[in-house]
Structure 1
Amino acid sequence: MDARTRLVPPGSAETFVASGGGVFRVLRGESEGSGTPILLVHGGGSDNAAISWYRLIAEFARGRRVIAPDLPGFGYTAHVRLARSAAGMADQLAELLDRLQIDRVIVCGVSMGGEVVLQFALRHPERVEAVVAIAAGGLIEQWRGPLAHRLAWIGTLIPDPALIPMTALANRFVRSMINTMVRDPSTLPDVVVEEFAAEARRPRSGYAYSLYTRASIDRRRMTNNLLPRIHEIAAPTLLFHGADDPLVDPSGSKTAARLMPHARLDLVPDCGHWAQLEHHDRFLRTVTEFLVAPP
């Protein structure tokens, strides 16, 4: 897409970084402080870095360097191998940080990206100063009970050649989906809604997320469940989750907060799935306080 039509959040700039055999689109702050860099990882579906972090890149950049890439298969990152799993995405981000000559970071992710940053903390603990996980995936044993789980698993059996046209059909209803994701759609900036819809219309949109979903579930359980290992994350961790999230059950964040040695949970009332956008001020205040005085 032409640079004039790509969404670039206020106070940020985009750059393109060769890594993983392709090119990552990376958003950064126009002016950046000297604190520990923060790596921002967007969610799945029709998401990209500009959507998830629209209101936050400039704010975070006041104190530190910001790295907000589009994951392979999302946004404007191109020709990078699709990792399929959150673990694979975490390793791709480690390689990207190597290319940027960044050693240690704060990792912050939402939804699928929340699982990616938890995997990053497990797989590359020496590189993580702190973790912020918003409505993180990967923290449940089964998806909404046996019957719902079985139906979800059956949906992943669609063969690859059919995934792209079926995903394109589903993406036609993306605006209606937004109304079910959040408690109050009016809290979302209009440009974010427009970019979400535009991302859904792009060729192969949703394909990478479908592959991730397929790799995360089998007939009886979630294969990406991190709860048995979540206690291994020693870095200070903030779990931020909307209490009314219809997509990712908040119970996973509650359980993780009990199991992790240095974790804090902020369960946000009257809030859906996009907690960092729906309750931007609370999120920014909570993260700032967390980084000053971690648990």
Structure 2
Amino acid sequence: MTLTSEQTSRTLETASGTIHFYEAGDPASPAVVLLHGSGPGATGWSNFKTNIEVLAEHFHVIAPDMPGWGRSQAVTREESDHARAAVDLLDALGIEQAAFIGNSMGGITTLRVATEFPERVSHIITMGPGSGPQPKIVSPGGGLSEGMRTLVAAYRDPSVESMTRLTEVMTYDSARFATPELAAERAENANAHPEHLANYLDGFAKGGPIAKWFRLEDLPKVQIPALLIHGRDDRVVHFENTLLLLAHLPNSRAVLLNRCGHWAQVEHADEFNRLVIDFVSAN
């Protein structure tokens, strides 16, 4: 990897406030927006550092820290609107339309942008989003999934030990991908912004940190090409959520990856990058 986080780091004032993001690639190329998940210490770089450089050979890549995460401004549950923030970032960058690629919470935002601002979205790509608010993201026995329980525990105790458990539950091959370096990076990111931790836990107590979801009944109206990727071994959001989305999105196809947890873009980075390049380039 030749690109670094600091080389690609940018900050802009937008109509939704201060947004920090990572940018790479030719601004004249088609734009892709990479949206991270909701875990403590998540940033555009931490979720997509294995993808940004490869995708930037083909696209203008934008990977924001969403409001309430990373170096972007803090927001409460009531103030948070990630779909609006994503569109405001496009406006600030002078980008009319982009492919939206979202992991977990980022996938939920991607589907909201597609239903509320469809003219701004050229392609939909999701990895492991839920199909609706709690309690739809649950384990078969009821209650939060194993991954969500571990995630919330890491918000309450953002230590390296907690981040180790979190990265282990996010991945299938934890011996390879849940490294001590990644756990330390996530702990450092999380502890650098205690306001984000407090706001997440406050939002969780009020019914979940994501106040605004897409509606399943709106998805059949969406004609944007959609690629839905999910890990067969996802312990955070069960892959059946993606099968439900597939049934509602008329112009969609799904890729189910064996030996893959919640981070398809990390565990199967080469295949993920090829899928994205081919899908965005061909549709």
Q: TM-score, normalised by structure 1?
A: 0.80
2:157 alignment partner AA: L
Identity %: 25
Residues 216 and 255 of structure 1: is their aligned pair in 2 closer, same or farther, counting only changes over 3 Å? farther
1:28 correspondence with 2:18: no
Amino acid of the structure 1 residue aligned with 2:129: A
Who is 1:122 aligned against?
Answer: 115
Give the 5 Å matches for 1:228-247: 228-247=217-236
Distance 1:44 1:242, change over 3 A: same
- Cα distance in 2 between the residues matched to 1:42 and 1:272: 15
What is the deviation of 1:200? 2.8
Scaled by the length of structure 2, the TM-score of the pair is: 0.83
Question: Aligned partners of 2:263, 2:153: CA distance in 1, in Å?
Answer: 27
Distance 2:145 2:48 in 1: 32
Show the counterpart of 1:97: 90
Secondary structure at the residue paired with 1:180?
helix
Give unmatched runs, 5+ long, in structure 1: 1-7, 156-163
Deviations 1:90-136 (A, max 9, x none): 01111121111111111111000110111011110011110111111
Contact 1:44/1:209 (CA < 8 Å) preserved in 2? no
Question: Cα RMSD (Å) of the superposition?
Answer: 3.2
Q: CA deviation at 1:227?
A: 2.4
SS of the aligned residue for 1:235 comes to coil
Q: Which stretch shows the higher mean deviation, 243-252 or 202-211?
A: 202-211
Task: Tell me the matched-pair count.
Answer: 271
- Corresponding residue for residue 167 of structure 1: 155
Corresponding position: 1:176 with 2:165: yes
For residues 265-294 of structure 1, give each alpha carbon's deviation from its aligned partner in whole angstroms, at most 9, with x where no partner exists. 000001001111011011111112212334
Q: Which residue of 1 aligns with 2:215?
A: 226
- Aligned mate of 1:66, from 33, 41, 61: 61
Alignment CA distance shift 1:208-1:49 (3 Å): farther
Distance in 2, Cα, partners of 1:96 & 1:233 = 22
Partner Cα distance (1:234, 1:180) in 2: 34
1:248 and 2:237 are equivalent in the alignment: yes
CA contact (8 A) 1:138 1:224 kept: no
Shift of 1:192: 3.8
Following the alignment from structure 1 to structure 2, what is the Cα–Cα distance between the partners of residues 255 and 197?
34
Give me the whole-angstrom Cα distance separating, in 1, the residues matched to 2:127 and 2:154: 28
CA change 1:170–1:26 in 2 (3 A) is closer
